[in-house]
Structure 1
Amino acid sequence: MAKPMSSLKQDFDRDGYIAIRPLFDAAKMAEINREFDRYLIEALPKMKETEAFYEDKADRTSLKQMQNMQAYDEYFRVLLEAAEIHDLAEMALGEPVRAVNLEYFNKPAGIGKPTPPHQDGYYFHFNPPAAVTGWLALEPVDEENGCIHYVTGSHLAEGYRPHGRSEILGFSQGITDFGTAQDKANTAAFPGDAGTLLMHHSKTVHWAGANQSRTRARRALGFVYFGVSAKVDEVAKAAYQAKLQADLRAANKI
């Protein structure tokens, strides 16, 4: 039996994340995966170079991340705004939210790199840090192919942990002091089947290992929602994005 919203809210406030296994059944996941395959054919060619990233720029089968999918396809715009995930975001934050971004995250078989420990809010340039990210597994995820790990309760600390350049495409900044005894003691791994939904606060520390499987990818969708109270510093955000894109071009990564 699914947990009531009040119980999920308690979990989120205490831990900084929730896990629903599964949110969508097999039939819905088959539909989403079919639509995703169609998206790759119809919409991906229209995306900007700063919205689609590859582990190997010369290998188009090594697609690892996409941003703003909702801007290019009606099915995924509707999915981002659908009640199933949107309502969970409002429950978690305790305020109305607006849908900001539908992302794709992949760790291609054998070459998918680790995701450095980070806090999403560090990238968002906003205050207060009222935002959540929902993470939907498109296929089974486990330790071998790079499941997400959360540091329980890390969203409750003041401010953000120190971040620095990670050199990981798509996750330009990683926490520089990660790995304390407290980090290790409070880390929880979240494997799951297709349809599993994780949702975390923008200050929750999380990371994922490399894909060590030679045959399995690790594909997922990310759903970003901002609370109405969150105010973005557009000048700081634009400056950060401009520098990041310049660095990526200089490194021949986009």
Structure 2
Amino acid sequence: MSIPHSQLKADFDRDGFIAFRPLFDAARMAEINRELDRFLIECVPKMSETEVYYEDKANRSTVKQMMYLEKYDSYFKTLLSDGVIKELAETVLGEAAVAQNMEYFNKPPGIGKQTPPHQDGYYFKIAPPKAITGWLALEPVDDENGCLQYVRGSHAFEGWRPHGRSEILGFSQGITDFGTEHDVANTAAQPGPAGMLLMHDCKTVHWASPNRSPTRSRRALGFVYFGVSAKTDEEMKRAYQAKLDADLKAANKI
């Protein structure tokens, strides 16, 4: 990387996120997008209803989110587990990173819903909260199609912000007291080109607007890593996931 690792770590510790605009060039992004298009055809039919969500359940072309791509395809397993993104995760975590999940996020044109303000670690059920998420833009992102928004420095506060049910498929919990003076003053929008990588702390508050573009999607890959020191409360995680899956089925969302 052209930026010294010590500077990346300092910037991350100060802000709760870092950005590379871009990390990957056009040729690499063309390759990743081709592999994703292949995955959507070959692998999605093999995935469980709790691993792939749709904006419109009746329309299989409206995939909005997928989890655990690495379980179904070696290309995405390698992208998650080897290479520069994992190296960056270890730099900002300050310890070895353990790959957890390769995700896909999309906001289809005109119908892509908002991503409610949240903290990723609230879902993770880990202690200590040593985890990061990488977010790779697969196409240009801006305010119109729903770029990410961070609250700079929000990772530094003790504990978790209060969360409640959001009713947004794929983001079951949202911060209930969002909009504080600190939130407003420290909001930092993250537009950028295809190949932009964002990386944020699991306590960093972030969200995204709906996709208001009538023609452009907003596709991205997520890379979740836990620090080697983080331990999962497996019982709490299983109970949370079981209740979420039951609620989504009852609401006919999956």
- Matching residue of 2:177: 177
TM-score by length of 2: 0.99
- Matching residue of 1:51: 51
d(CA) in 2 for partners of 1:84 and 1:185?
Answer: 32
Paired residue type of 1:119: Q
1:216-243 Cα offsets, whole Å, 9 max, x none, are 0000000000001100000000000000
Aligned length: 254
Give, in angstroms, the shift of residue 82 of structure 1: 2.0
- Matching residue of 2:81: 81
Paired residue type of 2:88: L
Give, in angstroms, the shift of residue 5 of structure 1: 1.3
- Matching residue of 1:139: 139
Paired residue type of 1:150: Y
d(CA) in 1 for partners of 2:31 and 2:182?
Answer: 41
- Matching residue of 2:121: 121
d(CA) in 2 for partners of 1:239 and 1:51?
Answer: 17
Q: Residues 39-118 of structure 1: matches in 2 within 5 Å?
A: 39-118=39-118
> Structure 1 residue 197 and structure 2 residue 202: aligned?
no
d(CA) in 2 for partners of 1:40 and 1:83?
Answer: 23
For 1:60, what is the secondary structure of its paired residue? coil
For 2:61, what is the secondary structure of its paired residue? helix
Instruction: In structure 2, list runs of 5 or more residues that go unmatched.
Output: none
d(CA) in 1 for partners of 2:98 and 2:181?
Answer: 37
d(CA) in 1 for partners of 2:111 and 2:209?
Answer: 12
d(CA) in 1 for partners of 2:213 and 2:130?
Answer: 36
Paired residue type of 1:159: G
1:149-176 Cα offsets, whole Å, 9 max, x none, are 0000000000000000000000000000
- Matching residue of 1:187: 187
1:175-229 Cα offsets, whole Å, 9 max, x none, are 0000012100000000000000000000000000000000000000000000011
For 2:199, what is the secondary structure of its paired residue? strand
- Matching residue of 1:24: 24
- Matching residue of 2:242: 242
- Matching residue of 2:158: 158
d(CA) in 2 for partners of 1:205 and 1:20?
Answer: 19
Moved over 2 A (4+): none
Paired residue type of 1:244: L
Q: Residues 206-217 of structure 1: matches in 2 within 5 Å?
A: 206-217=206-217
d(CA) in 2 for partners of 1:251 and 1:127?
Answer: 31
Paired residue type of 1:25: D
Give, in angstroms, the shift of residue 2 of structure 1: 3.0
d(CA) in 1 for partners of 2:28 and 2:206?
Answer: 27
Paired residue type of 1:183: D
